Structures are given as C-alpha cells and as structure tokens.
Amino acid sequence: MAVEVVMPRLGWTMETGTLAEWIKHDGDVIAEGDVLFAVETDKVAQEVEAVDSGILRIPPGSALPGTEIPVGAVMAYLVQPGEAAPFEQGAAAPAPTAAVAAAPATDPLPSANPAPLVVTEVADGVPTISPRARRIAGELDVDWTVISGTGRTGRIVERDVRAAAAQPVAPRPRVTPVARRVAQQAGVDVDQVASQLPGKRITRADIDAATSAVPESDGIVQPITQIRRIIADRMSQSAHTAAPVTLTTEVDATELAQLRERIKRDIAETGVTPSYTDLLIRLVALALLDHPQLNASFSGDTIVRHQAVHVGIAVDSEQGLLVPVVRDAHLKSVQRIAAESSQLIARARTGKSKADDLRGGTFTLSNLGMYEIDAFTPIINLPECAILGVGRIVARQVVIDEERELVAIRKMMTLSLTFDHRLVDGAPAARFLQQVKRWIERPYGWATQ
C-alpha cells in the first residue's frame, strides 16, 4: 500500500512550509531515514527524512520547489516495486497549494492516430527521467539533466541515456532546482556562477551572493530572500509597535575577565570554555528572577510574566540574523550553558537550526563586542519586553579613588538595555541594569550557583 509523504509540522505554530528542493527524485529507491527534501519554515531550512522505505513517486506538476505547502498536504508517495502510485490509478494528483496548477488530464488509452507530442515533461527546468534510465545514467556516468528525452511527454528513457553515453556532451554544472529558478528570475548566468565555484553544487545562497554583482543603472539589485523578508517584517513591527527606551551604563569588567580566565584554567581540556556571552547569559537569567517585570511579554490584552527564563542569543549567519534560545538558563551552570550555546550557534551559522531552537525566548542578549563596537541601540525581539546590548571589553585608564586621586587601567564595557515602556517603567528597568552592572563588577556568587 502506498505511503503518503506529507508536509510535516516542524513547529507548534507552523501552518505552511516552503519546499526548498527535492533531495531525492521521482523513481528513486528510498530507505527509511533517507533525506527526501528540504523545507524552509520561518528562519529555518530543515531536511526531512523518510519514515518508511519504498520507491518515491512524485505526481507531475505537484509539489514544485519554491511553492508554499500546507502542513499535512500530500506531496508524494512511497510505493513498493510493481505497485502503482495513487495518481497513476486514475486518482487526482494532490494539489498542495491553490497556486500550483493541476496537471492536465491525459487520455489513459492512446487514440488510433495520436497527435505529435509537443509538451516536454520537466520539473523546474530539469527533464524527468525513468527509474531505469536514471540507474543506467549512474552506471555510465552520464549527466542526464542535459539530455533531451524521446519518451512520452519528453521523458528521458534508457535509449536516450545510451545514446548520450556514445556521444558525450559537455558537463553541465550541478544546480539545485531552487537555485536555477532564482537565477532565472534574477537574470543571473548559472554557468558563470558555476565557473567561479568549480566542483561545487550551486545553491540558492550562491545565486543570492551573485546577484549583488548584477549592476543596474542606479545601483545593485538583489532579490530579497524569505529570511531577510521575515527579519525586515519583524524589525519593522518592533519599531512601530513597541515603545522602546534605551538605558546605557559603563561597567568595570576586570573581575569578570579574571573569572573567565580562572574557569578556563580549571576546566583545561575537559570542557567548553565559556565565552563572555555565556557568562552574561547565566548572570542575566538570575537577575531576571529578581526583576520579573523584564522577563515578560504581551499576550492579547494581558501581560505574562514568565516563570522560566529562556535567553535568546543574537547570531549573525549567512541566512541573516537568527536568535537561538538557551532554555531554562536560570537552572543551568555556566559550563552547561557554554556547551549548549556552542551547539545552538554552530547550527544557526550553518543553516541547520531546528525549529525549536528559534522559539520561546523571554529575553534576548546581543553581543557585538567581537566587532569592536563600544555601544549600540538593540531592537527588541517582540513579543519580549527587553534586550541587552553588550559592547567590547577594552582597557582604559579610569579613576578608582577620587579623593586620593588614584587612577588605574581597568577593563571597561558598555551595556545598553532597550525595554518596551508599555510593559515596564524606567525605574524598574534601571534597577535591573544596575544589578547586572554590580554582578559583573563583583562576580562572586552567581557564576557558581
């Protein structure tokens, strides 16, 4: 019996997902656990594995890369050898979205005088191929994507592959279907991009990067990606919805730096060395327990003060700004936070974040110190109440005793707290920032709690 391949729900709030590309193709033999396709949902690009085995059958004209598909919609089938897929048994092919046109009906019985076929069966610019022809193409090392098919509706069959093997054609660059479609829309020469990246499979990211080099009369035109569109929408929503106020203070981080060095020596090679961000996640999480007004969010006409502290980390990635979340940070040690955050950041920067990595934050921390930034105004990550911006640690000469006129070289850092004045007033926010400042300057208890 055919097994349905459907659009999975990759997060509690997910209603639709955009099919990025098919990793496997129509006619491929699938084993349980094989990666079938990739889905873009919100800021996540996630690969989906097969939960059963069989032969993958994708209805023609259905579930094309780049289309938005509702959760639970049938995209393809896994059938057993010799078994016909439902759409080959007279059943209508599934239509994942209203925007995808249904495949034209064909007469199951050929007429006595069939008209010449003028339609070539393609999937996003690449012709389809029979399973047997695909296998033979692999054995003969033939790039079937450049072959013209002579089968029904232009499908590539065995004789086409063998003919191509006898008369090899110039190799065609390996390009994902989504990348090919985006390149066509942006007017980018795929062959030229491939020539600059020899041996590499060209992806959408490569095309997006190449579009920045396409000049126009008044500048450079670059198509907006789905992730950049989401970031733009959320930043605009934050700017127009919240009532942001930013408080700034300078902190003596000398003892915080000494604490990090002690931890680094203590763990030696037995664990992950915590970054300053990891230390601040721990500190901020405990401080929020004392200042629950900052660990809050709007929910309709009510304000929710969260019992748990889930700290988001602003991460710069090739896909754009992502905010993976360290959950229950108030219950975790610095070493555990360091181990967990390193995994979250690595997945975010390589585009492998899980759906749950990026949801549920109650407070965000944004550290730009590694870019030699002293201070900045962070933007609130709605529906959260506040975000803490962290600048670089830099050695400065400061007054340590005004009466005795004593100065010293200290490691100074600037903190910028942006909060939503609709949720909390200035004084409670200032008291929170004051406590964070004191704990950085005297990190005696919170780091080992």
What pLDDT score does 337 carry?
A: 94
311 strand-pairing partners: 326, 363
List every span in the chain annotated with CATH 3.30.559.10.
243-448
CATH, range 243-448: 3.30.559.10
Strand 386-390, strand 363-367: pairing: parallel
* Token output for 248: 């700034």
Q: 99 or 420, which is more confident?
A: 420
Q: pLDDT band for 115, please (50, 70, 90 cuts).
A: very low
Q: Give the pLDDT band (50/70/90) at residue 136.
A: confident
- Determine contact, residues 129/156, Cβ cutoff 8 Å: yes
3-state SS of 63-113 is CCCCCEEECCCEEEEEECCCCCCHHHCCCCCCCCCCCCCCCCCCCCCCCCC
Could you tell me the two tokens for 190? 């795929």
Decide which of 370 and 233 is more confident. Answer: 370
End-to-end CA distance of the chain: 57
Please give the C-alpha separations between residue 132 and each of 87, 157, 165, in angstroms, as whole numbers: 20, 8, 15
Mean pLDDT of the chain: 81
The predicted pLDDT at position 242 comes to: 87
Name the residue with higher pLDDT: 415 or 187.
Answer: 415
> What pLDDT, on the 0 to 100 scale, is given for residue 276?
95
Domain 3-166 -> CATH class: mainly beta
Note the pLDDT of residue 95.
45
pLDDT at 298 over 50: yes
> Where does the pLDDT of residue 114 fall: very low under 50, low under 70, confident under 90, or very high at 90 and above?
very low
For residue 439, pLDDT beyond 60: yes
The residues, ordered by sequence, that sit 6+ positions from 94 with a Cβ below 8 Å of its Cβ are: 59, 62, 63, 73, 74, 75, 87
Give span(s): CATH 2.40.50.100, the chain. 3-166
Instruction: Tell me the sheet residues that pair with 56.
Output: 78
Q: How confident is the model at residue 268, as a pLDDT? A: 67
Residues with active-site annotation: 421, 425
**pLDDT tens-digit readout, 299-328:** 878 889 999 999 999 999 887 889 999 999
DSSP-derived letter for residue 433 is: H
Note the pTM of the prediction, 2 decimals: 0.57
